[in-house]
Homo-oligomer: A and B are copies of this chain.
Amino acid sequence: MDTKLSLVLFSGTDDKLNAAAVLTAGAAAIGRPVHLFLQYWALDAFRADRMGANHGLAPEAGPQGQAAVTALAAAGQAPWHETLRQAKELGEVEIQACSLSMDLLDINEADLDPLVDGVEGVTAFWLAAGEGQIAFI
């Protein structure tokens, strides 16, 4: 089963980025091609100089949720960008930045972490997505 999976990453908080990374790694592990398209605050999190920073959590996490995430990180859980790096080694994972969001946030390709493979427009994203599965995170 090689249905393509195309994920639009919009949110830039560590919980959503981790959920996206784990879903990507799981899909790649069973041989599915995964295409990530970075928009808005998710794109911002892929700046080379901020990737390892604390990007916060969704507001609903609250202090208890924050404590749980902190404890798991302290126990050695891989951060989302490390999970994505492993997923790229393991399977077919492509990461593209949305050109409109690049303009919005005034980001150049050189500002992005090498995990990002390139920049594409929305039309190119849809053409690549084809008839596969999509999700917005």
**Among B3, B55, B136, which residue has its beta carbon within 8 angstroms of that of A135?**
B136
Q: List 29 A-B contacts (CB under 8 A).
A: A1-B130, A1-B131, A3-B130, A3-B131, A7-B136, A8-B135, A10-B15, A10-B16, A10-B137, A13-B60, A15-B41, A19-B40, A22-B100, A23-B136, A26-B121, A26-B123, A29-B123, A30-B123, A30-B126, A32-B126, A41-B58, A41-B61, A44-B65, A56-B60, A65-B105, A69-B104, A72-B104, A129-B133, A134-B134
Whole-angstrom distance between the alpha carbons of A135 and B129 in the complex?
13
Whether A137 contacts B136 in the complex (CB less than 8 A), given A16-B10, A40-B15, A122-B26, comes out as: yes
User: Is A11 located at the chain interface by the 8 A CB criterion?
Assistant: yes
Interface residues in A110-130 by Cβ distance below 8 A to B read 121-123, 125-127, 129-130
Q: Smallest Cβ distance from A34 to chain B, in angstroms?
A: 10
List residues of chain A with CB under 8 Å of any chain B CB. 1, 3, 7-8, 10-13, 15-16, 19, 22-23, 25-27, 29-30, 32, 39-41, 44, 55-56, 58-61, 65, 68-69, 72, 100, 103-106, 121-123, 125-127, 129-137
